[in-house]
Chains A and B, each alone.
Chain A
């Protein structure tokens, strides 16, 4: 079963606007990661936020984590056409001595020039 569920499933915005994607999960986690996937390509890591962190920034990306609500959000500011891609959250939780990485179903973002 999916640990992370992204919302919305699809998002279309104009270039320059901000894009916000949300991720909800079910169990306690060690960290949460966001990945981007361009069409026909592999996933690329964007940012990792640990369970004891509430907010993290990387360039135009801002990630928040609320462990009490079991949710995270990814904000892309001043979006560009090149940001058009699918975005996935991945939760990391302990499992049998190892760390299990579970991906959500993704948000498809379209940025219109």
Chain B
């Protein structure tokens, strides 16, 4: 099992560009989520999904879009990148639809927006 796989590991964008952060898991987890990690602020939830076709917003959803067409994949789209979106992004998954179980994390994507 690969667990949770995130790509790319590093990305530099210019303000206004768009991109998609990829996340895939091979554990058949129904619950998937995206967090951003900023210095001194811990991890903040961006969006989450409790199954294919079902997504919802977290604490800091503005500027991000998600979709969940399969159980395995949960991509995060930055629509028009801003310097405030410079951060480290983590995808995490857990079994069960309702969440609250042990989370399995990917290794992260370090994003810089210039």
Task: Name A's B-contacting residues (CB within 8 A).
Answer: 2, 4, 30-31, 33, 35, 40-45, 48, 88, 90, 92, 96-106
Contacts and interface: CB of A to CB of B under 8 A. Distances in A.
B100 A31 contact: yes
B61 interface: no
A99 B98 contact: yes
B50 interface: yes
B34 interface: no
Given A88-B42, A105-B40, A45 B90 contact: no
Interface stretch (B69-77, B78-86, B104-112): B104-112
A44 B105 contact: yes
Contact of A33 (B35, B90, B102): B102
B98 A43 contact: no
Contacts of B101: 48, 99
